Structure 1
Amino acid sequence: MNTTDIDINITCNEGRTPLHYSCRHGNIDLSQYLIEVQDSDINIIDNKKWNALTHSAWSGNIKLVQYLTNNYQLPLLSFALLQAVRSSLAKLLVNEYKLDPQVEDNEGMKAVHCAAQVGAIDVLEYLVKDCGCNLDRVGGLHNMNVFHYSTVNGHFSFIKYIMNIYPQYNNLLYSTNDNGAPPVHYACASGVTQLVSFLIDVMKCDVTTEDINGYTCVTRACSSGNVDILKLLLKQYNLNPRIFRGISSLQAAVAYGYVHILEWLKQEYHINIVTFMKGVLPFLAAQYNRLYCLKHLLSNYSFDINATKPINSTQYTLLHIACQKGHVAMVLYLTSFPQCDVSAKTSNGSTVLHLSCESCSIPILKHLVEEHQLDLTIKDFNGMAPIHVACEEGSLSIVKYIIDHSPLSLDMTDSFGRTPLLIAAFSKNFPIIRYLNSKNCNISILDDKGFNVIHILAKGVSTIAAAYKFLNIDIYSINEKRLTPLHLAAANGHVNTVMSLLSVTTGTTNHDELLGAVDGDGCSCLHLACQNGHYRMVLYLSEVYPANVYSFNNNEEGLLHGAAQSGNKDIIQFLVESHGLDPESQDKDGVTCLHIIAKQGDKEIYEYLVPRVRNNPTPKNKAGRSPLHYASRHYDMSVYLIQSFNIHPEDKDSNGFTGVHAACQAGNMRLKHMTLKVCCILHA
């Protein structure tokens, strides 16, 4: 095998590598070759969080499981037991590897459910008799029981086994899952006629029920493809054919791709396929990738290939849906019609190119561009071109294709001033950022908020050190509010990002310049950390640049003012006890942190500060207002101030505004009555 140009760890849409598939099918020789010769990464997990060992357990190949555990020390977790119930491997995993038979997955599905799902009677017997597992438990996405799981795949013998050996659980046949569906619904969907007849005739299961999603036994039968079950339900049991109610029989037949069910219903109930539910059937076929069904509908009925979806206002055509879902064969089929409008737009101005990028389907994108000459610079109503969508979705291969075929896309801006680079930064997609930078994109462009790529990265939770290494960007750059990347990182509490930014300037004269920079309001990064209540950030910044601890912003507010706004007692305690900041420090309007804390209604913090106030614990600002004026929205805080410091509710500010006025202005009726009562007592 020549893998010079092949990524051996390439993943499919489910996140699986070639090694995953090899292990899943129990191929020990191929798996060994992929690992030892091709250096496949055994630690990669797929979208379901399964690794190579989990897939090996699913295959039931004990030699493959032992190879991975013995040679690569992959941890054999109890979760693997759930995948092994389809084989005798389950017993070995419990007996030799001591895996927990009571294990469940993250949705609550248990080993007995897995055994029921595959019809493994011997495994079920072992789990119940030897391991003490209970059959009456529910679990999985919709909280289903063993009969739900066994009827899904029509395991008739498994069901009869449970009923004969464990009759005490027969009542589970009549219970419903979280969707309101009993097991008989799933039996109808399984396509096993004998099982359906048994549940109805012998066990007397109710076949007239409807689940919360609108499914009935009839619509489930349509999804099975077994017309005999459908006829049985309609003819022998006289059930409602469900033509125009809820999820209709025809919709179910098309969604599951069963043309013969569709045609039988049409003939039996004289249905006009084209006008049925305003022509929705082809759109269901497109959505669920039922190409054969779509071909049947378009070839045999007079549907308009350019019609828009009738059940909403998105104005999606069949081609739009196929592109958005990434259905390659369906796109090729639809565009083979000369009358197919490949330039149609949706209600938000998206084209098939935008939707192809949304589904990350490069085959569809290439087909539309190269065979139909569509313009890659076209924008939707938000000013987004296909390149913007590709960067948002994180598809590097599509981004490369677009830049190669449309170089002008490199620095295109959307309606918010965002370039592909800025959108990639919002998505924290470093491979795309690196690629765009290698193509010499303009890294100094600011969006409508004045943010460049470093500002955006600094707002996120990931470190920007890697980005700085390959982006030649000024980390001292400021946006329209004069915020540097350091300000943004500090305001959002991202300590690692701050450390990365500062590491770039460590040992240089610019280090202090970056730490001492202030925004348009005169706030340092430490001010912003205090205002937003980021305790760890405050500790770090006060240590690396102590000078900021005693700084004031343009409003003459110190750090205690900001900490009071955030209501973070730990920060206030740290600033007072470790740095001796004065709670009576005033801003230019005479407001102290005590006023702000009273306004926040935080009695605990106020009580903490009172013993640390040198002069007046209830100071007045320059307008003559005490903390009581500020506390008007908080009853307990106001009562505390009145009772503890003998503040008179009728004390006036310089405009004659009293605490009673403040209570009325705040709409605090309880406080108003209390202050008036105090006033009456004082005047008595």
Structure 2
Amino acid sequence: MEHNISSFEYNVYLSRKKEIKVKTNHSESHVILYYVFSDAVRDPLMRANTEDSWIPDKYHRRLHQGPVKDTPLHKAVIDGNLDTVKQVMSEYEIDVNTRGLYGLTPLMLAAVRGQNDVFEHLHKEGADMTLTDGDGDHILSTACVGGNIDIVKYVVSKQPELINRKRNDGRTSLMWAAWHGRENIFGYLLGNGADHISMDNDRDNILHYACNGGHPGIVEKILAEAEIDIHSIDIYGRTAVMEAADQGHKQVFDILVGKGSSISHVDKDGNNVLHAACRGGHKEMVEYILSQRGFNINRRGKDGATPLMIAARGGHRGVCDLLVGKGADTSLLDNMENNILHMASMEGHESMVKHILSQNFVDINSRGQRGRTPLLWAALRNQNEVIRLLVSQGADLLQVDDGGNNVLHIACKTGNGKIAQYVLLKNELDINAGNHCGETASMIAKRTYQMELYELLMSQ
């Protein structure tokens, strides 16, 4: 039985292996939600562009610390043609257990792509099923992602101890199956001794994973058969229903609420399901939550951020308009005294900034954290297009923060030559103006080793 995992699914799997370990706050998602998509991840076949651009395994027996290109054998496995795999193995002297990107062996690649015939051949040729990759994933983990039940059954029959072995972050094969919606594999693992109450290093359990992935069938099965408390929380106080809200999985959300999950719960940062839905930018979910009684549309969450602030920071204009239409207060500040314009500006959401300005929700020169205006926040975060937009809409170039730094000082601190040139062309700033420490823009450029900027300023 071939599953033939799609290229998209495979790329998502690879991308999830490069998670950013950032936890819940008002601007970033939970650990199992936030992924890095590099160009190499988007198209793993483009990493090596010559037939000889691989490194024999003897040069990297130990798991590599940085990117390692796939070998011709890895490429053949990715193509999924057994004859090509056999040909490569006969023509190249490649160890069948050689490592590729992220430490994956050819056998792991065959498992994650659900290629049963290739898998069987590699194992017959001596591929080791006990190896782990750079994240601690083993062959059963990758097989659960691939979705080929025959491979999963074969691995369990040969290596039953893998069924509950965790990877580096505490994730089990059952969690992988729940996350990817592999219902048949999930049921098989449960019936063969998989630990259904296990938690990963962040105390996420299989219910959190299934809800994050948005798989109603697995959620129903967990609630009916597993000993999982529907109100269980991870180390950040997040429940399964918050995971569903964050990802916009309305059907899963409804199942949990129907089974008694509380939508009034707040996590350790003070965020509730409304904050979670706004962070994900899910307009339908936000509208549904607001239709329930007892929700304060201006409730403060982490760092005093309201749902509207979270939506603005994420650039979710549709959610912002919905919240404003329902009575959200556009003038509120978070605990650092930032408003929605500061948040949209610092994150570089040009269309959101333009929309906020068009509605006259806040003053374009309002001062936020450390006295920074939206323009200064955009400069600090190198949001060039937002800077140009703000200036075109009347932002005051002469404004300084609490340290006396203007936009030119900040551009020199961040090494942003384009913005330095842009503001100099406006001819409004005193190029020799000092901040409260007496530093001019050229001094800051020199101190921070921005020598091209330093030379530009000295030439002026």
Aligned to 1:347: 302
Aligned ranges 1:545-560 → 2 under 5 Å: none
- Does 2:155 correspond to 1:155? no
Aligned ranges 1:65-214 → 2 under 5 Å: 79=47, 81=49, 99-100=51-52, 102=54, 107-111=67-71, 112-117=73-78, 119-141=80-102, 143-164=103-124, 167=125, 169-170=126-127, 172-202=128-158, 206-214=162-170
The change in CA–CA distance for 1:152 and 1:333 in structure 2 (over 3 A counts) is farther
Aligned to 2:397: 443
- Does 2:293 correspond to 1:326? no
Aligned to 1:560: none
Aligned ranges 1:277-356 → 2 under 5 Å: 280-298=239-257, 300-309=258-267, 313-356=268-311
Offset of residue 209 of structure 1 = 2.1
The change in CA–CA distance for 1:147 and 1:458 in structure 2 (over 3 A counts) is same
Aligned to 2:329: 375
Q: 1-side partners of 2:67 and 2:450: how far apart? A: 32
In structure 2, the residue corresponding to 1:416 is in which secondary structure?
helix
- Number of aligned residues: 410
Offset of residue 490 of structure 1 = 2.5
* Aligned counterpart in structure 2 of residue 465 of structure 1, from 400, 421, 427: 421
Give, as a single letter, the amino acid of the residue that structure 1 aligns with 2:99. Answer: V
Aligned to 2:439: 483
Give, as a single letter, the amino acid of the residue that structure 2 aligns with 1:148. Answer: M
Q: 2-side partners of 1:323 and 1:175: how far apart? A: 41
The change in CA–CA distance for 1:241 and 1:484 in structure 2 (over 3 A counts) is closer
The structure with the largest alpha-carbon Rg is: 1
Q: 2-side partners of 1:327 and 1:137: how far apart? A: 43
Q: 1-side partners of 2:437 and 2:229: how far apart? A: 63
Give, as a single letter, the amino acid of the residue that structure 1 aligns with 2:282. Answer: H
Offset of residue 403 of structure 1 = 0.9
In structure 2, the residue corresponding to 1:411 is in which secondary structure?
coil
Contact 1:251 1:281 in 2 (8 A): yes
The change in CA–CA distance for 1:99 and 1:281 in structure 2 (over 3 A counts) is same
The change in CA–CA distance for 1:270 and 1:458 in structure 2 (over 3 A counts) is closer
* Aligned counterpart in structure 1 of residue 319 of structure 2, from 359, 364, 368: 364
Percent identity at matched positions?
A: 21
Contact 2:77 2:110 in 1 (8 A): yes
In structure 1, the residue corresponding to 2:168 is in which secondary structure?
coil
The change in CA–CA distance for 1:275 and 1:499 in structure 2 (over 3 A counts) is closer
Q: 1-side partners of 2:266 and 2:116: how far apart? A: 44
Give, as a single letter, the amino acid of the residue that structure 1 aligns with 2:186. Answer: L
Give, as a single letter, the amino acid of the residue that structure 2 aligns with 1:102. Answer: W
TM, length-normalised to structure 2: 0.79
The change in CA–CA distance for 1:140 and 1:340 in structure 2 (over 3 A counts) is farther
Contact 1:148 1:182 in 2 (8 A): yes
The change in CA–CA distance for 1:216 and 1:472 in structure 2 (over 3 A counts) is same
Aligned to 1:216: 172
The C-alpha deviation readout for 1:50-74, integer Å capped at 9, x for no partner, is 79xx97x96xxxxxxxxxxxxxxxx
Q: 2-side partners of 1:408 and 1:269: how far apart? A: 50
Aligned to 1:261: 218
Give, as a single letter, the amino acid of the residue that structure 1 aligns with 2:52. Answer: D
Contact 2:53 2:69 in 1 (8 A): no
TM, length-normalised to structure 1: 0.54
The C-alpha deviation readout for 1:210-265, integer Å capped at 9, x for no partner, is 22322233333433534443343333x33433267854332332222222222223
Q: What's the Cα RMSD here?
A: 3.2
Q: 2-side partners of 1:183 and 1:155: how far apart? A: 13
Contact 1:437 1:471 in 2 (8 A): no
Q: 1-side partners of 2:178 and 2:275: how far apart? A: 27
* Aligned counterpart in structure 1 of residue 197 of structure 2, from 230, 237, 242: 242
Q: 2-side partners of 1:384 and 1:254: how far apart? A: 33
Give, as a single letter, the amino acid of the residue that structure 1 aligns with 2:295. Answer: C
Give, as a single letter, the amino acid of the residue that structure 1 aligns with 2:252. Answer: C
Offset of residue 80 of structure 1 = 5.8
Contact 1:478 1:484 in 2 (8 A): yes
Structure 1 unmatched ranges of 5 or more: 1-45, 59-77, 82-97, 505-684
The change in CA–CA distance for 1:302 and 1:266 in structure 2 (over 3 A counts) is closer
Offset of residue 271 of structure 1 = 5.1
Q: 2-side partners of 1:462 and 1:279: how far apart? A: 39
Q: 1-side partners of 2:92 and 2:179: how far apart? A: 37
